[in-house]
Structure 1
Amino acid sequence: MQEELRLSSWLPTTRKEVKIRGWEELDVILFSGDAYVDHPSFGPAVIGRILESLGLKVAIVPQPSVTDNLQDFTKLGVPSLFFGVTGGCMDPMVSNYTASKKRRDKDAYTPNGDIGFRPDYATTVYSNILKEKFPDTPILIGGIEASLRRVTHYDYWSDKLMPTILESSKADMLVYGMGEQPLREVVRLLQKGVPFSSLKTIEQTAVLIDKDESIPKNSNWEDVEIESHETCLKDKKKFASNFKIIEQESNKLKARRIFQKVGNKTLMINPPYPTMTEKEIDASFDLPYTRLPHPKYNKRGPIPAFEMIKTSINIHRGCFGGCSFCTISAHQGKFIASRSKESILREVDKVANMPDFKGYLSDIGGPSANMYQMKGKVQSICDKCVAPSCISPVICSNLDTSHKPLTELYQAVDKHPKVKKSFIGSGIRHDMLVPEFNKNADAKELDDYTEEVMTKHVSGRLKVAPEHTSDPVLKLMRKPSFSYFHKFKERFDKINIKKGLNLQLIPYFISNHPACEVEDMANLAAETKDMGFQLEQVQGFTPTPMTVATVIYYSGYHPYTLKPTKTPKTKKEKDEQHRFFFWYKKENKDWIRKTLNKLNRKDLLNVLLPVDDKWRKNKKAKPAKHTFDDAIPFNQRKNKAKFKPKKKRR
């Protein structure tokens, strides 16, 4: 009886667990590429709990085996409403492969980090199996893989253009973005008796319409048609031109409905729902999660992704940065949906009272840690906006960038009697803390926030992401000048000395990004060395669907200007750019000398590898201690056409 009570706290995953709940049949069965962790940071759990809250009988089949007799797909029978399918919290190809297309040796969303439990293109694989076994049962796909592959897209791992995932998966409907709102409407209509096949005009969904079907009408929506999949296959420039429309419509409050011909069918992508209100997002986070992995994994080992976030608190969704290489706004949107302070504190209390809580919260954050409660001052201006970023090339004058609510939230969290310290593990937009860039904000508020973070929410290191030093690259990335990182470092150093903190500033950078040349990387290496940084763990650009940078990578054109834009694509080009991060390594020094001499950049060579008698006598001199760690891209930096020594810099 005790075991049954314990198991019934999770959504059922087996026939036995279904019986424990006293159910004879199920309304919805979910299939996921991740292990089942009943936590609000794991999308499949959120969807399962939402459906449960609507009175449905829901079960989840995590990481079903696709290499045996496929019994995982039939063991729970046929749901009365539909199958739900997701590849997991990451695109399976990102989860399975590195930027160099090598198989990863760990899967963060599987017990013990084991690999082999998630197939490539998992959503398509699962959906095809279900459609073959249960052709009459509707399939609804969602999650990051489906969301970012909802339209013709470039797939880096197969190096080809692929159609909407609705075509390859044979699914009946796709929910893009954060799925709570469209899912509620789907269920509402099904419970009213509307057939699944008639659900064509729900916001934030996409469907394929056969050539003999009429286009559903909606007098509230304007329509726009983009170039067909077949045209995109023939013309890379036209493929690039599609993306401007897709990105703008995805981030508008009053978007148009998008149509695209795919063979003899038509893809119809309905406009997104408005940004979730505080009440709506609170309702999603306040569901009865156990916040733990399912007990079935107890003997298999820890799940790395869960271990990383089990004492973290997500305070908002969305990001208005619009970085060209990032998929956050494509999935979560550019407008911020913030939870109420009360909802956050309730979750803090729940975490603090868990048996193994040691007093430390690993993160109070979101996609970008310091965007909580930020929105437009005049809503009517936001209603008309088509800009993909609210802070590039400059911060919008209509954006409220006050950090005061966030500072007050941190202080409220730290008042909990069981919380010894709360950390900020999410990336902080350092540029928004520089008054010269964030002219909308009160400079004192920015300093108060920075000091609050540095004195109370960092453990030795503050991680920020300039990403690059080249102005042309940063402009394409939708990042501000690197000069603002210099200014942030000045403020950081001032507080560090004032408070006697001895903190390290850890900047992250990215190589091989569109518009980046070898000379840009040499400038990056020289300028960061001049600032006292020695970079170690950094990241190469990985093309993922639904980003400006990936469109450029494949097509060679910038989707907004349609001007040719060069991108490093060969292994040789990528390796050479990446090597400049590690100028201090012995094996790279001769190559760097030859390369910079060839480029006639002796000024950079003199900064990176100054020649003196001591060096000539001892080529085995040890490099300085590393000060760079755990690279994950996030923010910005400035390039100078010619590197200038520190004393000449403004």
Structure 2
Amino acid sequence: MAATFLPMSKAEMAALEWDACDFILVTGDAYVDHPSFNAALIGRTLEAQGYRVGIISQPRWQDAQDFKRLGRPRLGWLVTAGNLDSMVNHYTAAKKRRSEDAYTAGGEAGKRPDRATIVYAQRCRQAYKEPPIIIGGIEASLRRFAHYDYWDDRVRRSILVDAKADLLIFGMGEATIGHIADELKRRRSGETFPYPLGQTIAGVCFLTTDRSTLPPEAALEIPPFEQVSSDKRAYAQAYMAQEKEQNPFAGKRLIQEHDGVFLVQNRPALPLSTEELDRVYGLPFARQPHPSYTDRGVPALAEVEFSLTAQRGCFGGCSFCALTFHQGRIIQARSDDSLVQEAEQLIKQPGFKGYIHDVGGPTANFRQPACAKQAKHGACRDQQCLFPEPCRQLVVDHAGYLRLLRRLRALKGVKKVFIRSGLRYDYLMADKPERRRQFLREICEHHVSGQLKVAPEHASPKVLRMMGKPSLKVYDAFQKEYMAANEALGKKQYLVPYLMSSHPGCGLPEAMEMFDTLQTWHHRPEQVQDFIPTPGSLSTCMYYTGFDPRTMEPLTVPRTTREKAMQRALLQPHLPVNRSLVYAALAAVGRGSGAKKTPKNHQSAAPSRERRRSDKNKGGKRRF
């Protein structure tokens, strides 16, 4: 029978009658034994295969002493920065230090170093030299090639080179780590292999100084680090090769030289089947923070504690999102039965009040691969599923998602099932009119609590093209049908659009288009997102190189602090602190202080906080 938690101390190991761990997993997050936290997911996967896994969470990194607290691992170290890239975790788009860390007990900042994967790997090697070091997680996955780093403002080497680790796992990693663990066990027992550790395993990156020793497999050499760090066209060429070869069925092995050492990326791991994914999420997670945190909660858990992860992957293809570089474009979905069983677990948990906060994944209404071809051959190399128009082969089906939601909301003890991970509205609008209207009516009736979040991101056609997002006409059509569905139900519910400022391709004239659109929508965003060039995304390549790598078209790239501040201010012109910046932006485009008038009765988007307060004071019922 599995322990309630994986051990974090020698005393906990002794209680399990362990003399040593097979693997010690070092993580930059607090240890929360929940499937939404990567350390728990990988640790429980290995435990299910019969391995002993200990956790070292947020160790003191100034020396190697804290890395010895569980002794030496028999088979290897597993190192991850946590659920977020450590630089994204620490710094805002303005490169200012964040004051809180949602993945630390009590939200306390400063419990992990910058570039945590590199620092932890080095300390593991200092603690015990012999066990191999395997790095993984989002930070390692997205930095596996030479990559532009926004905080250093330069191209850095592959994180595998800088960490001096033995292997890098990219992607979600459950199948890959299982294969690596079995190979390590067999090697320890004396079995010989024709190749060094992990070189034949999918989902792995490794280093070699001798290309002649590589297993025979089709390979593509991309421009080396020395070239991509000084030649932006070479960087774009390397990025596009990386993006096109991330096909688990037909992608080529990629090779990139770093100062005489060759980084080799094997083909991505195959997507997990529904049965395999069900087994992963059915593992015996405690679903709580480790008891050592006493009464200090981990804020990130609150977002997912009573939510259900229904699928992985995304075929949406937004340029600014690196998800496809990590999880891939092929949807991997859990069965309805698995999700219902997990919901029944949630109902029994202390603190459950009858509300399932979300049922989804990267996008809630993607529940199957985009087309039959994807499930057998992978995604197309040179074509997106939804952009610039939905592909003719796209399978649009919301019936299965509705069936799942109906089963969940019918469970005894469930009052409401919400959708918070967002709907991909262009996918919904590609459905047949009668089917999408039925879907919208049911969603609005049962699964929206006052407001639904969707992501048009911008209004400028030029910027939307750079983002890989649909025309604003699609959003306008969706908005009308959403409001019509609520009107038919007698509900007053709103859309909350996610918006982004300072994306590559967006100058002040394009930002002004968004400003004018907000006036038309009668919407005052309370929160907007500045574009952050994170590793692994197409938009980051645009930001660094100054052109669209798909076409080599030159782009306007907002770079100065002042211009970024003006663009952000144009998305929130109602804030007094932004007034001078808005006037400056208007003057810069030759519009003085003028602005389009706002229609008085337009209610397409969520009202401002002031208007909601006014409605409440008038006796109106708040629905959110």
**TM-score, normalization by structure 1:** 0.89
Q: Which residue of 1 aligns with 2:347?
A: 352
Residues 54-93 of structure 1 aligned to structure 2 (within 5 Å): 54-67=49-62, 69-93=63-87
* 2:594 partner amino acid: L
Q: Which residue of 1 aligns with 2:498?
A: 508
Q: Which residue of 2 aligns with 1:120?
A: 114
Q: Deviation digits for residues 569-594 of structure 1, max 9, x if unmatched?
A: 11011111111112233454465445
Decide which of 607, 629, 635 is 2:596's aligned counterpart.
607
Query: How far apart in 1 are the matches of 2:78 and 2:611?
Result: 46
Q: Which residue of 2 aligns with 1:372?
A: 367
Using a 3 Å threshold, how does the CA distance of structure 1 residues 452 and 261 change in structure 2: closer, same or farther?
same
Using a 3 Å threshold, how does the CA distance of structure 1 residues 626 and 86 change in structure 2: closer, same or farther?
farther
Contact 1:26 1:59 (8 Å CA) reproduced: yes
Query: How far apart in 2 are the matches of 1:380 and 1:371?
Result: 14
Aligned sequence identity (%): 37
Residues 1:29 and 2:19 aligned together:
no
Contact 2:516 2:595 (8 Å CA) reproduced: no
Q: Which residue of 2 aligns with 1:169?
A: 163
Query: How far apart in 2 are the matches of 1:447 and 1:389?
Result: 25
* 1:80 partner amino acid: R
Q: Which residue of 1 aligns with 2:238?
A: 242
Using a 3 Å threshold, how does the CA distance of structure 1 residues 424 and 385 change in structure 2: closer, same or farther?
same
Q: Which residue of 2 aligns with 1:574?
A: 564
Query: How far apart in 2 are the matches of 1:62 and 1:478?
Result: 38
Q: Which residue of 1 aligns with 2:259?
A: 263
**Cα drift, residue 252 of structure 1:** 5.5
Q: Secondary structure at the match of 1:502?
A: coil
Query: How far apart in 2 are the matches of 1:482 and 1:561?
Result: 23
* 1:484 partner amino acid: V
Query: How far apart in 2 are the matches of 1:606 and 1:542?
Result: 28
Query: How far apart in 2 are the matches of 1:108 and 1:388?
Result: 37
Q: Secondary structure at the match of 1:38?
A: coil
Q: Which residue of 2 aligns with 1:633?
A: none
Q: Deviation digits for residues 558-611 of structure 1, max 9, x if unmatched?
A: 222223222101101111111111223345446544543552347x9340599x
Contact 1:175 1:205 (8 Å CA) reproduced: yes
Q: Which residue of 2 aligns with 1:287?
A: 283
Using a 3 Å threshold, how does the CA distance of structure 1 residues 198 and 587 change in structure 2: closer, same or farther?
closer
Q: Secondary structure at the match of 1:528?
A: helix
* 1:205 partner amino acid: V
Contact 1:281 1:338 (8 Å CA) reproduced: yes
Report which stretch shifted further, 585-594 or 571-580.
585-594
Contact 2:142 2:536 (8 Å CA) reproduced: yes
Query: How far apart in 2 are the matches of 1:208 and 1:400?
Result: 40
Contact 1:33 1:63 (8 Å CA) reproduced: yes
Contact 2:8 2:54 (8 Å CA) reproduced: yes
Q: Which residue of 2 aligns with 1:315?
A: 310
Q: Secondary structure at the match of 2:212?
A: coil
**Cα drift, residue 492 of structure 1:** 1.2
Contact 1:534 1:627 (8 Å CA) reproduced: no
Q: Which residue of 1 aligns with 2:206?
A: 207
Q: Which residue of 1 aligns with 2:89?
A: 95
Using a 3 Å threshold, how does the CA distance of structure 1 residues 140 and 624 change in structure 2: closer, same or farther?
closer
Residues 599-638 of structure 1 aligned to structure 2 (within 5 Å): 599-601=589-591, 605-607=594-596, 625=610
Contact 1:123 1:146 (8 Å CA) reproduced: yes
Q: Secondary structure at the match of 2:372?
A: coil
**Cα drift, residue 9 of structure 1:** 0.8
Q: Deviation digits for residues 237-283 of structure 1, max 9, x if unmatched?
A: 11111111101111463100000000110000000122211111111
Using a 3 Å threshold, how does the CA distance of structure 1 residues 593 and 120 change in structure 2: closer, same or farther?
closer
Residues 449-528 of structure 1 aligned to structure 2 (within 5 Å): 449-528=439-518
Using a 3 Å threshold, how does the CA distance of structure 1 residues 594 and 157 change in structure 2: closer, same or farther?
closer
Contact 2:330 2:378 (8 Å CA) reproduced: no
Contact 1:361 1:419 (8 Å CA) reproduced: yes
Using a 3 Å threshold, how does the CA distance of structure 1 residues 142 and 624 change in structure 2: closer, same or farther?
closer
**Cα drift, residue 400 of structure 1:** 1.3
Using a 3 Å threshold, how does the CA distance of structure 1 residues 465 and 25 change in structure 2: closer, same or farther?
same
Q: Which residue of 1 aligns with 2:127?
A: 133
Residues 1:415 and 2:404 aligned together:
no
Q: Which residue of 2 aligns with 1:548?
A: 538
Decide which of 47, 51, 57 is 2:42's aligned counterpart.
47
Using a 3 Å threshold, how does the CA distance of structure 1 residues 81 and 497 change in structure 2: closer, same or farther?
same
**Cα drift, residue 468 of structure 1:** 0.3
Contact 2:315 2:370 (8 Å CA) reproduced: no
Contact 1:535 1:626 (8 Å CA) reproduced: no
Using a 3 Å threshold, how does the CA distance of structure 1 residues 296 and 404 change in structure 2: closer, same or farther?
same
Contact 2:142 2:535 (8 Å CA) reproduced: yes
Gaps of 5+ in 2: 600-607, 614-624
Q: Deviation digits for residues 510-554 of structure 1, max 9, x if unmatched?
A: 000000011111111111211221223101100100111111111
Contact 1:536 1:581 (8 Å CA) reproduced: no
Q: Deviation digits for residues 23-66 of structure 1, max 9, x if unmatched?
A: 11111000000000111111110100011011111111111111
Contact 1:99 1:540 (8 Å CA) reproduced: yes
* 2:255 partner amino acid: F
* 2:14 partner amino acid: K
Q: Secondary structure at the match of 1:417?
A: coil
Using a 3 Å threshold, how does the CA distance of structure 1 residues 490 and 380 change in structure 2: closer, same or farther?
closer
